[in-house]
Amino acid sequence: MSHERLVHGRSRFPALDGPDAQGHTGRHACGRFRRSDQRSDLRGRDPRPVRRRGSRGRIDVPFRAVGCDLRAARRTGTLNDMDFEHPPVDPVPVCEQWFADAWERSGLPNPNAMMLATVSPDGLPSARTVLLKGFDSRGAVFYTNSESRKGDELNATGRAAVLFHWDPMERQIRIEGKVARVSDEESDAYFASRRRESRIGAWASLQSRPCASREELDQACREQEQRFEGQDVPRPPHWFGYRVALEHIEFWEGGDARLHDRVVYDRDDDGTWTVRRLWP
């Protein structure tokens, strides 16, 4: 369909179907930020941060001096290539371009990671990271176990907010809107594209419920593997996709002296957009 820009399995971006991007963010110095991720770096050179080995394995330590004062650490914005003074009337192509830029230039392993915020019926908020698996003018799609906490809250309130933050590029997109279940055909197609081990895990996991031990989880996976031995693994009825409608979209780009650029779009009842610039 012509309105679909980015869907499960195949897209014009490598974002949702390609291998993980490789790369690293810029280098820091104690008390200040020394830029090494300007435009030429984001497209070519691979600046590598200092690495330390901790008790849980190899991790990146972005600051060269352990224990330095981080309060003054702030990079200055240089990646402003959206015209915030004259923003386009339609935010969807801007979202698509920023997604493509994130895959090509951010150096992040999962540029399609987004923070999903939900709220319980009694007003208790919660947030977690999920992966964007589809995007077009209808909204942002992700897949999950509907019996998890996020599923319970989405089913109860029907609303959510998502946040994409690409720190190396000093950009973020925030989307708010109503949430609806995607079609069974869409969910089936995406589920079938997953690794068999992931499909087994979707049956085994009682997501967000207490688990006594790793062995209990491994045993549940073994049981499901035996259950589906020699046959295809179908999609569990409680596992499907949600689409967050594009009702409110904010673009943020970092600026010097924390004088950031912000533009917000609100969808009107007739489907058009009202665009406003916001104070930092």
Those residues of the chain that have pLDDT short of 70 are 1-82
d(CA 205, CA 198): 10
For 43-102, write each residue's pLDDT tens digit.
333 333 433 333 333 333 343 333 444 344 344 444 446 678 889 999 999 999 999 999
d(CA 82, CA 138): 23
What amino acid positions are annotated as catalytic residues?
A: 258
- Residue 267 pairs in a beta bridge with 273
pLDDT of residue 240: 96
Q: How far is residue 222 from each of residues 80, 147, 225, measured CA to CA in Å? A: 50, 21, 5
d(CA 23, CA 7): 25
Per-domain boundaries in the chain? 79-278
- CATH for the stretch 79-278: 2.30.110.10
pLDDT of residue 137: 96
pLDDT of residue 97: 94
pLDDT of residue 86: 86
d(CA 181, CA 240): 7
d(CA 261, CA 83): 10
**Model confidence, pTM:** 0.72
Within 8 A by CB and 6+ apart from 260, the residues are: 77, 252, 253, 254, 280
Residue 266 contacts residue 273 (beta carbons within 8 Å)? yes
d(CA 270, CA 15): 31
pLDDT of residue 82: 67
Structure tokens belonging to residue 32: 């200040």
Residue 94 contacts residue 82 (beta carbons within 8 Å)? yes
- Tokens 């590029």 -> residue: 169
